[in-house]
Structure 1
Amino acid sequence: MKNISISTFINIIFAVAFFAITLAFVLFVNLDKERYIISQHQRYMFIAESLLKRLQTYPSSEDLESMYDQFDVKEVKKRDKKLDIINNSELQLIKNSYIGRMRVYKADDNFYIYVQQLSYNLMLKDLQPKPYNFQIALFIYTLFFITFMMLYILLGRKLKPLKKLTKQIDQFSQGDINVKINAYSNDEIGKIARSFAKALEFIKNQSKSKNLFMRNMMHELKTPITKGMIIAETLPNVRDKEILQNAFERMNNIIKELSTVEKISSNILNLHKEKVEFFHLYTQTLKLMLTDALPITTRFEKFQACVDRDLFCIVLKNLLDNAVKFNTHGDVVARATKQKVEIISHGEPLKNELDYYTEPFSQEEKRSDGFGLGLYIVKTIVDLHGFKFKYTHQKGQNIFTIIF
């Protein structure tokens, strides 16, 4: 029941209530019908027995008419009518006794009592009006049905803004921050809608401020970096020139990563997948790392990966950067097959679960360099590709795995 929506729950409640009322109505009608038939038969037997006993005293016509009035019956005197009732009507009850015979017939919703004793053959029509219990029950049932339908429709209209608000919240959760929240009512749903609209407006403003800050910062940083790279070209010392160029290129790559983080947080990062040889991905990754002379041992199968080339190179760069930076001894191992990519380094296991490090700005306490965005970017890009990202520690080795 916890996972059932409110509208579905209300539909179930109304369906159960409607079924219960309908069942109660059907049971009432059947029980009332049985009660009526039993009381009716008892009445007819009483009338028949009273007449049969009276007939033993050879009553006059006036006496019989008096009894008819008393029992609210009328004698059918035409012989053809009697024969038609006997031959074509439904026999409801028959009873024989030492003083005579009694039968009850039903024809066209009318009941007839046929009494026989010696020379008497009396056919009596019941004049007592039929009870209106069924009509009353049907009226009450109809009233309940109309009331239930009105309540159901009113409740559905009341919940309609909630369904709309839920849809708008879903749109927002999928990255559409421009969704418009309208609140027309003053009830609890309207209050929630207005509160959410205020929160959404606050988030929009915060997002705009953050994006503006990031863009301005990256723009301001690119200008001195570009100037620095131009000045570095004029240096006569080749070694100093190369060191400065690598430093400026590294800063430029950091700005690109910050730009990637901005796109991730703004939910505007799009993939452009293509099939590319994994070795070419690795070669492009080394260019991002600004050096080929790294303590990395590669074990690659020859295969093509369907990935976004630029984004996946950022993933590999961040994993290799971390592995080289925190490797305690020996070479870092980069292993790749059609099923997975593994980056393996020696060192102590992580103090926390992997989820901790894939949150933005998360890092070990002892670290003083970096922003703690590396694994956050890795996890986000891997998830966008539909791959899995895992971490294990085995035999003194930290193993980060991307499973295709």
Structure 2
Amino acid sequence: MNKNSIILKISLFFLVAFFAMTFLFKMMFEYEFISIKENLKVHYHQVAKYVMLWHIGKETKEQLLENLKKENIEIILDKAIYKEITREDKFETISCGMQNFDLYEKDNYRYMITPQSTGSMILKDLDTKPIDVYYMWWLYVAFILILFTLFLSIAISIYPLKHLQIQIRRFGEGDMDIDLLSSGKDEIAEVSNEFDKAVKKIKAMINSRAIFIRNITHELKTPITKGRLSLEFLEDSRTKDILSNVFLRLNLLTKEIVQIENITACDCYIDKKSYRLSDILDNAVDLLFLEIGSIDNNFENKTIEADFELMSIVFKNLIDNGIKYSSDSNVYIKFQDNSINFYSKGDMLELPLEYYTKPFTKCDSKISDSFGLGLYIVNYILEKHEYSLSHEYNNSLNCFSINLKDDSVNNSLTKN
């Protein structure tokens, strides 16, 4: 469990509260028991005092009997019960006048045995009340039940946060079909309902954007196609060449807008599975209308965890860039040190890689059949895969590398 989890902190709080309350009630129980016992000792000390006053001759036998009667104490004349009483565990010893008076409990009565010097009298407490402090434990049980009920109530209230977290993660991964409506009345339910409204609003905005882009690109294709067909009926001239170049660039721009919309839309779902690198490369080569096997590589039987279609686009764009910007139109791909490296001869990049991964930035402004979206799309897809793109320049070679996560290398790259 996450050590920063709210439910863990609440659990620890209630656990500490439970132990603290248990300790507190134990102390209260012992204090109450000792308090009642001390009161009893005071009572029996008074009884012992009456006996000692009679023993030393300061009071008569009648006065002793009268004093004992006031304390609800009776003298037992049957000496046969003496052995039965003394067999019991001694309850307490009362000291008075340097003499010890022993207390015993038997058959719900408390008995006092006077010292031998006073005749070992048996005094029976007719008003014996047990030391009953067990109500403290009933009170303890009640408090624990209340504490446990509060814990369950808070835990049940917080539990929807886990569901909310899962739904938000799904939303972050591009799944727009989530339902966060809650019938609860607490703050978490309010947050969930507000987030549900926001998701629905964002979904509506994304759908509107997608519909707009699809419609605009569709509307653009018709005049572009008509314009290119009309150019065929014009005589060769500089104007025709300019118009042909304009329509060609408009057609390329429309295609790239459609591609970037399809890839960067929030509903772009990454379906990662294990695929052979050679199969992904063959699909990318096919997309570029190149011959299968025309790109040198050392993939052999290596595999990678990726979305096949999206990773094919990554390969396609990196190969296409390599061919466009290289001095010999050749690209070589090499797997090494948990990276897939795309090598091509050419000039060193003038700016850091971060500049070229932004949309509509090109490595060479002289190249007309590109709008600078290739590396932007590559970087976006790799981030979705939790991989990264890097670049190095050595010995007149540009090297664009797909770097795999360190903790996924053993699982994502294996031999078949």
Within-5 A mapping of 1:208-247: 208-220=207-219
Distance 2:233 2:290 in 1: 22
Relative to structure 1, the CA distance from residue 315 to residue 115 in structure 2 (aligned partners, 3 Å threshold; closer, same or farther) is same
Deviation at 1:123, TM superposition (A): 1.2
Deviation at 1:107, TM superposition (A): 3.0
1:169 corresponds to which residue?
A: 168
Distance 1:204 1:299 in 2: 42
**Conserved 8 A contact 1:222-1:252:** no
Relative to structure 1, the CA distance from residue 91 to residue 182 in structure 2 (aligned partners, 3 Å threshold; closer, same or farther) is same
**Conserved 8 A contact 1:318-1:374:** yes
After superposition, the C-alpha distances for 1:365-399 in whole angstroms (9 at most, x for unaligned) are 99697555423432454466x57334143547542
1:378 corresponds to which residue?
A: 378
Relative to structure 1, the CA distance from residue 175 to residue 81 in structure 2 (aligned partners, 3 Å threshold; closer, same or farther) is farther
**Conserved 8 A contact 1:112-1:125:** yes
After superposition, the C-alpha distances for 1:86-144 in whole angstroms (9 at most, x for unaligned) are 12x10234578987553222335543210033472211233353455542x33543443
1:56 aligns with 2:56: yes
Q: Larger deviation: 315-324 or 95-104? A: 95-104
Distance 1:123 1:8 in 2: 62
Query: Over aligned residues, Cα RMSD in angstroms?
Result: 4.7
1:197 corresponds to which residue?
A: 196
Distance 2:254 2:332 in 1: 23
Deviation at 1:208, TM superposition (A): 0.8
Distance 1:195 1:364 in 2: 42
**Conserved 8 A contact 1:250-1:290:** no
Distance 1:325 1:165 in 2: 47
Q: What is the identity, as a one-letter code, of the residue corresponding to 2:400?
A: F
2:79 corresponds to which residue?
A: 79
1:342 corresponds to which residue?
A: 341
**Conserved 8 A contact 1:105-1:113:** yes
1:316 corresponds to which residue?
A: 315
2:408 corresponds to which residue?
A: none
Relative to structure 1, the CA distance from residue 392 to residue 36 in structure 2 (aligned partners, 3 Å threshold; closer, same or farther) is farther
Relative to structure 1, the CA distance from residue 60 to residue 271 in structure 2 (aligned partners, 3 Å threshold; closer, same or farther) is closer
Distance 1:322 1:390 in 2: 14
After superposition, the C-alpha distances for 1:51-84 in whole angstroms (9 at most, x for unaligned) are 1342232965532222213444333333333321
1:15 corresponds to which residue?
A: 15
Q: What is the identity, as a one-letter code, of the residue corresponding to 2:14?
A: F
Q: What is the identity, as a one-letter code, of the residue corresponding to 2:28?
A: F
Distance 1:74 1:353 in 2: 105
**Conserved 8 A contact 2:325-2:364:** no
SS at match of 1:176: coil
Relative to structure 1, the CA distance from residue 342 to residue 159 in structure 2 (aligned partners, 3 Å threshold; closer, same or farther) is closer
Within-5 A mapping of 1:93-172: 93-94=92-93, 101-108=100-107, 110-118=109-117, 120-126=119-125, 127=127, 129-130=129-130, 133-135=133-135, 137-156=136-155, 158-159=157-158, 162-172=161-171
After superposition, the C-alpha distances for 1:217-258 in whole angstroms (9 at most, x for unaligned) are 4444555677789999999x9xxxxxx9xx979957973783
Relative to structure 1, the CA distance from residue 53 to residue 398 in structure 2 (aligned partners, 3 Å threshold; closer, same or farther) is farther
**Conserved 8 A contact 1:92-1:105:** yes
2:359 corresponds to which residue?
A: 361
**Conserved 8 A contact 1:333-1:344:** yes
Distance 2:298 2:2 in 1: 49
Relative to structure 1, the CA distance from residue 271 to residue 70 in structure 2 (aligned partners, 3 Å threshold; closer, same or farther) is closer
Q: What is the identity, as a one-letter code, of the residue corresponding to 1:207?
A: I
SS at match of 1:78: coil
**Conserved 8 A contact 2:360-2:372:** yes
1:267 corresponds to which residue?
A: 267
- Structure 1 unaligned spans of 5+: 238-243
Distance 1:124 1:350 in 2: 111
Distance 1:165 1:11 in 2: 20
2:4 corresponds to which residue?
A: 4
- Structure 2 unaligned spans of 5+: 237-243, 405-412
Relative to structure 1, the CA distance from residue 199 to residue 315 in structure 2 (aligned partners, 3 Å threshold; closer, same or farther) is same
Relative to structure 1, the CA distance from residue 300 to residue 229 in structure 2 (aligned partners, 3 Å threshold; closer, same or farther) is farther
Distance 1:401 1:124 in 2: 101
Q: What is the identity, as a one-letter code, of the residue corresponding to 2:203?
A: K
Distance 1:308 1:96 in 2: 91
Distance 2:105 2:197 in 1: 75
Distance 2:83 2:283 in 1: 110
Deviation at 1:13, TM superposition (A): 2.0
**Conserved 8 A contact 1:332-1:343:** no
Percent of residue pairs identical: 23
TM-score by length of 1: 0.73
Deviation at 1:206, TM superposition (A): 1.0
Distance 1:274 1:222 in 2: 38
Distance 1:152 1:8 in 2: 12
SS at match of 2:401: strand
Deviation at 1:46, TM superposition (A): 5.0
TM-score by length of 2: 0.71
After superposition, the C-alpha distances for 1:162-192 in whole angstroms (9 at most, x for unaligned) are 5554444344334332223324456543442
**Conserved 8 A contact 1:342-1:399:** yes
Q: What is the identity, as a one-letter code, of the residue corresponding to 2:89?
A: E
Relative to structure 1, the CA distance from residue 159 to residue 317 in structure 2 (aligned partners, 3 Å threshold; closer, same or farther) is closer
Q: What is the identity, as a one-letter code, of the residue corresponding to 2:341?
A: E
SS at match of 1:8: helix
SS at match of 1:28: helix
Relative to structure 1, the CA distance from residue 138 to residue 281 in structure 2 (aligned partners, 3 Å threshold; closer, same or farther) is closer
